[in-house]
Amino acid sequence: MSRLRLIALSTAALLLSAGLTSCTPVKHCEIGLQDASPKPPIQVAAILAPTSNFVDFSSIITAASTSVQADLGFGKLKTSSGRELSVVLADGTPSLATRGFVEPQGGADYDIQTAIETTYGNFDLVAQCAAGDLQVQGDQIKTDKETDLLAALSVAADQLSDDKADKKIYVLGNGIQTAGAIKMQETGQFPTSEKYAQQLAQGLKDIGALPDLHGTNVYWYGLGQVDGTKQKLSQKNSDSLSYFWQEVIGMSNGVLLTIDIHGKVGSGEPNANAIPVAPVDPPTCSLVVKLYEKDGVQFQPDSNVFVDAKKAKAAAKNVSDSFIKAECTEMTVHGYAAAGVDKASYDSQKDDIDETNKALTLLRAKAFAALVKRAGFTGTINTDGVGTCGTEWNASGKIASELQKLCRRVEVSN
C-alpha cells in the first residue's frame, strides 16, 4: 500500500475519531507528495484560493468536485490508472501542497475505486487544513497573508510536465490578486474595463510575469464572486475581472473559455481561518455622456476639425469635470457618424461607407479626447471609432434629418 494511500486512510480514521470524541486529532494535516505518475493519461492541477473576501470555500469545493472526480476516473475505472492530481495553495507565496496519482493496489473495482478516492481526498483536505475547520496551530500547511494567483498558475503549470497528457487546471478563487506581480488593491491595478484589462494583461506579459500554459485548458470556479460584506464588486468590475483572466491565460498560451467560467457557484460566509487579504476598492464610475452638434461637438465635413473650437473646448471641460467629480479614473471616447445617404444606397455601399466612417470617427474621438486631457482629466483615456450609426432613416428608408443629427455624436463612458 502506498504512503499517500496510508496517509489518506489514516486521515479518514482520525477525522472520524475526532467527530466521535470531540478531540483534536494529532498531525491530521501531514499531507505528503507522491512521485509524478510515470505515464499520466491526464494531468490535473487544482489551485485553491480560500480567501477572506470570498465565500465559504467548502461550497466552491463542492461545485468543482464532480468535474475533478471525473478527470480522476470516477465512472471510468478501467482507464483511471495513472491519472494525476496536484493541489496548489494560492496564498501570498504559492506552493505545491500535495501531488498524487491513481495507483490501484489490485485489479478489482474496489481497489481502483479506493485509489481514486485516495487521490481525490487531498483536494478537499488541503483547503480544510490550510484555511478551514481542520486548521490548527503548527500545521504542516501554513499560509501567508494575501493571494498570488499568477504565481500559483506557474506552480500548477510546472506540474503538468507530460506533453502527451491531457492537461487541465482548475482554479478555485474569485480572481482578486493582492500579492506578486499585480496587486489589485493598489491604485490603477484593478481591471475596470475590457480595454484596461487587456492593457494590464499585456503589461504583465511585457515584464515576463505570465506562466507557460501551453496546451492547457483552464476551468475557473468562483471568478468574480465576493462575500458582499468585506468586499463588493459592481457587475462591470466583476465582468472586467473575468475578462482580465481570460486575457492573461490566452496570452500564456492556455485556454479559458467563457463556458468554463463558473461565477456565482458558492455561498455562505468565508471560514474564520480563511487567508486574510487586503480589500480592493475599484472605481465604480458609471457615467455616460452623449454630446451632439448642439453641444458644440460638431466637425467639419469629412474631417476631425471642430466647427467651433471654443464650444468644443467647453464641452470637453464639462466632461473632464464630471468624470473627476465622480472619481472616475478611466474613460472611453466613442465616435459615431451618419451614413449620409438613404438606406438603400447605404446597403449597396455598406462596406465602403463603414470603412470610411470607422476611420473618420476614430480620428474624431481622438480629437475630442485630446481636448478632455487638456481640460484636466489625468486618468486613462481610451478612444473608439464606432463608425456608422445606422439609425438615421425613417420607416421608408429615407434620411430623417433629426435622426441624422443624433447619429453625429461623441459618446463618453467609463
Which amino acid is residue 67, in one-letter code? S
Tell me, what's the pLDDT at 28? 62
CA distances, 222 to each of 54, 136, 172, 252, 267 (Å): 8, 26, 6, 21, 10
* C-alpha 310 chain-centroid distance: 43
Which residues lie below 8 Å from residue 119, measured CB to CB, with a gap of 6+?
A: 4, 72, 83, 85, 100, 101, 102
Give me 370's grid cell. 485630446
Distance, in Å, from the CA atom of 86 to the CA atom of 88, rounded to the nearest integer, reads 7
Distance, in Å, from the CA atom of 252 to the CA atom of 79, rounded to the nearest integer, reads 30
- Strand segments (E) across 173-317: 216-221, 261-262, 288-291
Task: Give the residue carrying C-alpha cell 487531498.
Answer: 122
Which residue, 173, 14, 161, is CA-closest to 99? Answer: 161
* Residue 265 phi, psi dihedral angles, 5° rounding: -115, -10
Distance, in Å, from the CA atom of 86 to the CA atom of 234, rounded to the nearest integer, reads 33
Is residue 288 exposed (0-12), middle (13-18) or buried (19+ Cβ within 10 Å)? exposed
Which residues lie below 8 Å from residue 282, measured CB to CB, with a gap of 6+?
A: 184, 190, 192, 233, 234, 237
Q: Cβ of 207: how many Cβ atoms within 10 Å?
A: 8
* C-alpha 207 chain-centroid distance: 20
Distance, in Å, from the CA atom of 276 to the CA atom of 92, rounded to the nearest integer, reads 10
Model pTM score? 0.74
Task: Give the residue carrying C-alpha cell 472526480.
Answer: 69
* Residue 84 phi, psi dihedral angles, 5° rounding: -115, 140
Tell me, what's the pLDDT at 329? 81
Distance, in Å, from the CA atom of 167 to the CA atom of 118, rounded to the nearest integer, reads 20
Sheet order of strands, 410-413 included: 288-291, 410-413, 330-337, 380-388
Give me 107's grid cell. 485489479
Which parts of the chain sit beneath pLDDT 70? Answer: 1-28
